[in-house]
């Protein structure tokens, strides 16, 4: 495989995503809406019951829900929407690699979502002054690995969604809230403080967001360094590789099946 066309494809798709977000400034503001407001509401819930020491959990959850929403609605569903718009046919007839397109989409999505995340942090900080005892190196490393594994999961979902027709949107609606709940975006979902029974904690641990959130809380609010949270970091890295491999296989398999059955470019089923 030649590297240059692959990289150019990735860059081109990332630029399309960035242009679609930053080219229309109002989009930046619009994208901030739900993460900021949900984070604010849940911070106020912690505040109203006197649990002010945990307001930082709600703010961190608001940061990560912005990325999770982006993965679900702008990664997982994207090929499906491209199919409806007739764009997917163009991808298929061009020599561009679908994996490069997805990775470009991920880069664009991460950079495009960053303003929302930053705004949640800024507003949360100004309004609530959450208590932070961070090991910043560990926080940064965990954050990056969480994003890589999360977007790799988005690539896998994107390839699986190619088999769906109109059901894709309903699948997103079904996935969004339960994953937010079991992955512990706003409260610990795994470990001693989790309200979940062991079986649910075990299943939740298969989602990168669960591992990432747990490690982020430990490094950001309890000052745990890389040496203390390394099992989570290794797990996130392994998950990223596994999801990338699965998405690559799934894309090829579904593309072949779609070509054979003549359904790959059918717009609405």
Partner 1 sequence: MISFRSLFASAWMGIQHDLAWTYPPVSLALQVVAPFASAMTVSMIYWFGSSNSGPGVLFNPTQLAYVLVGSTLYAHVAAYAWVPTVAIAEGKNLSVFQHIYLTARSTALYVAGRALSSFAISVTTSIAALAAAYYVLGSFLSTTVPLTVTPVTALMLGIALVADIPAALGLGYLLGAYSLYASKFEWSLPGYVAGLLMVFSGALFPPSILPYPVSVGATYLPFTQFIAAARVAIVPGVSGNYLYSLSLCVLGGAIFLVVGLAVYFAAEKKARKDGVIDRRMA
| CB 5, min distance to partner 1, A | 32
Asked whether position 46 contacts partner 1 by CB under 8 A, the answer is yes
Using CB under 8 A as the binding rule, whether residue 6 contacts partner 1 is answered as no
Is residue 176 a contact residue for partner 1 (CB under 8 A)? yes
CA distance 222 to 239: 24
Sole binder of partner 1 in the list 9, 31, 80, 99 (CB under 8 A): 31
21 Cα distance to chain centroid: 17
Residue from 2, 23, 126, 177 in contact with partner 1 (CB under 8 A): 177
CA distance 154 to 151: 5
Q: How far is residue 222's CA from residue 213's CA, in Å, rounded to a whole number? A: 13
Binding of residue 27 to partner 1 (CB under 8 A): yes
Q: How far is the CB of 253 from partner 1 (least distance, A)?
A: 24
Interface positions, 58-77, toward partner 1 (CB under 8 A)? 58
What distance in Å separates the CA atoms of residue 157 and residue 183, rounded to the nearest whole number?
A: 17
Closer to partner 1 at the Cβ: 79 or 186? 186
Q: Which of residues 178-197 bind partner 1 (CB under 8 A)?
A: 178, 180-181, 185-188, 193, 195-197
The only residue of 21, 42, 120, 233 in contact with partner 1, by rule CB under 8 A: 42
Least Å from the CB of residue 142 to partner 1: 21
44 contributes a contact to partner 1 by CB under 8 A? yes
By CB under 8 A, is residue 30 in contact with partner 1? Answer: yes
DSSP string, the chain: --HHHHHHHHHHHHHHHHHHHHTSHHHHHHHHHHHHHHHHHHHHHHHHTT-GGGHHHHHHHHHHHHHHHHIIIIIITHHHHHHHHTHHHHHHHSS--HHHHHHHHHHHHHHHHHHHHHHHHHHHHHHH-------HHHHHHHHHHHHHHHHHHHHHHHHHHTT-STHHHHHHHHHHHHHHHHTTSSS--SSTT-SS-HHHHHHHTTSHHHHHHHHHHHHHHS---HHHHHHHHHHHHHHHHHHHHHHHHHHHHHHHHHHHHT-TT----
48 interacts with partner 1 by CB under 8 A = yes
Name the segment binding partner 1 (CB under 8 A); options: 4-12, 166-174, 204-212, 241-249: 166-174
When the beta carbons of 54 and 79 are compared against partner 1, the nearer one is 54
Judged by CB under 8 A, which of 15, 167, 241, 245 binds partner 1? 167
Tell me: does residue 45 bind partner 1 (CB under 8 A).
yes
User: What is the binding site for partner 1 (CB under 8 A)?
Assistant: 24, 26-27, 30-31, 33-34, 36-38, 40-42, 44-51, 53-54, 58, 166-167, 170, 173-174, 176-178, 180-181, 185-188, 193, 195-197
């Amino acid at each position: 495989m030649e590297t240059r066309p692959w990289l150019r494809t990735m860059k081109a798709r990332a630029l399309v995503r960035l242009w679609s977000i930053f080219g229309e400034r109002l989009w930046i503001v619009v994208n901030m809406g739900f993460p900021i407001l949900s984070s604010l509401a849940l911070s106020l819930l912690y505040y109203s019951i006197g649990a002010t020491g945990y307001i930082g959990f709600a703010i961190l959850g608001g940061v990560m829900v912005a990325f999770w929403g982006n993965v679900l609605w702008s990664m997982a569903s994207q090929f499906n929407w491209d199919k409806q718009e007739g764009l997917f046919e163009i991808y298929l007839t061009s020599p561009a690699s679908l994996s490069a397109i997805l990775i470009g989409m991920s880069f664009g999505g991460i950079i495009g979502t960053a303003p929302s995340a930053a705004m949640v942090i800024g507003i949360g900080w100004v309004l609530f002054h959450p208590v932070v005892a961070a090991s910043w190196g560990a926080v940064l490393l965990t954050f990056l690995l969480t994003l890589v594994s999360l977007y790799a999961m988005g690539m896998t979902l994107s390839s699986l969604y190619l088999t769906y027709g109109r059901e894709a949107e309903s699948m997103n609606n079904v996935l969004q809230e339960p994953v937010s709940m079991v992955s512990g975006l706003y409260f610990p979902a795994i470990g001693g403080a989790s309200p979940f029974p062991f079986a649910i904690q075990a299943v939740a641990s298969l989602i990168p967001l669960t591992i990432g959130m747990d490690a982020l809380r430990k490094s950001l609010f309890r000052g745990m360094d890389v040496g203390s949270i390394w099992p989570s970091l290794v797990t996130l890295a392994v998950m990223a590789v596994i999801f990338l491999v699965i998405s690559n296989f799934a894309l090829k398999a579904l593309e072949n099946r779609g070509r054979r059955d003549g359904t790959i470019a059918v717009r609405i089923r």
